[in-house]
Amino acid sequence: MEEVKVIGFWASPYVYRVTWALNLKGVEYEYQEEDVFNKSDLLLQYNPVHKKVPVFVHGGKRIAESTVILEYIEETWPQNPLLPTDPHARAMARFWTKFGDDKKPDFFGFFKSAGEEQIKAAKEAQECLKILEEHGLEDKKFFDGDKIGMTDLSLGWLAFWLEAMEGAAGVQVLDVNSFPRLHAWIRNLKEVPVIKENHPDQTRLLAYFKWLREMYTKPATT
C-alpha cells in the first residue's frame, strides 16, 4: 500500500477536514504534527507556494489546500462517497463548500476586532450563518442530505472552533434561538463516530484562541 501522510496542526479545522475524510473512507494514514509558528524545512519543501497546512502526501506525491485534497481523496478512494451521485447535488455541495471558504473574512471578523467594529463584524457573521441555515442546510439532516458529506466536513469548524472563538472574543454569534437548524446540524455532526472520536479538546482550543485573539487585538507599538 502506498504511503499516505497528513502534515497538520492540531488546531487547524482545515486539517480535520482531511483526517475526517480519510477516517470516513477507512484509509490508514500517518499524521505528522507541524509547528506553524516555526515552520519546518519539510513543510516549506512540501508546500513552497502557500507554506501552510494541511499537506497531503500519497505515494510520494504532495497536494496542498484542503478542498483540493478532499476532491483527491474522493476520486482516489470512492468507497463511502463524500459527494452525492446526482450531478446537481454534487454541484450544490461544491457551491456551499466554496461559499464557506469564500466567506472566511466575514465569519471570522468578530474574532479579530473589538468595540463597534466587533459588533458590526458579528452581524456580518450572522448574516452568513443565516444564508447557510436558510439556503444551504434548509430542513436536511446534513448539508448534503441524510448522510455526512464534503460540505459538512468543510463547515465542521462551526461545531467546535466557532464556540471557542466566541468564548475567546466574548461574543455569541450562533445562538440557538436564531439558528435552530444549524444547532440541530451540529448535534447530528457530533454524533457521527469519526467526528465524535476525533476533534480538538475544547479547553485547549479555547486557551489557544484567547492567546491568538490577544495577538490580533494587541495595540500596535511604534
What is the pLDDT at residue 112? 94
C-alpha cell at 90: 454534487
- Residue ranges of the chain whose pLDDT lies below 50: 222
Q: How far apart are CA 177 and CA 163, in angstroms?
A: 16
pLDDT of residue 217: 86
pLDDT of residue 216: 87
pLDDT score for 201: 97
User: Is the CB of residue 87 less than 8 Å from the CB of residue 95?
Assistant: no
Q: What angle do CA 68, 29, 148 make, to 5 degrees?
A: 55
77 three-state secondary structure = coil
pTM as predicted: 0.96
* C-alpha radius of gyration, the chain, whole number: 18
Assign 145 to helix, strand or coil.
strand
Q: What are phi and psi of 106, to 5 degrees?
A: -75, -40
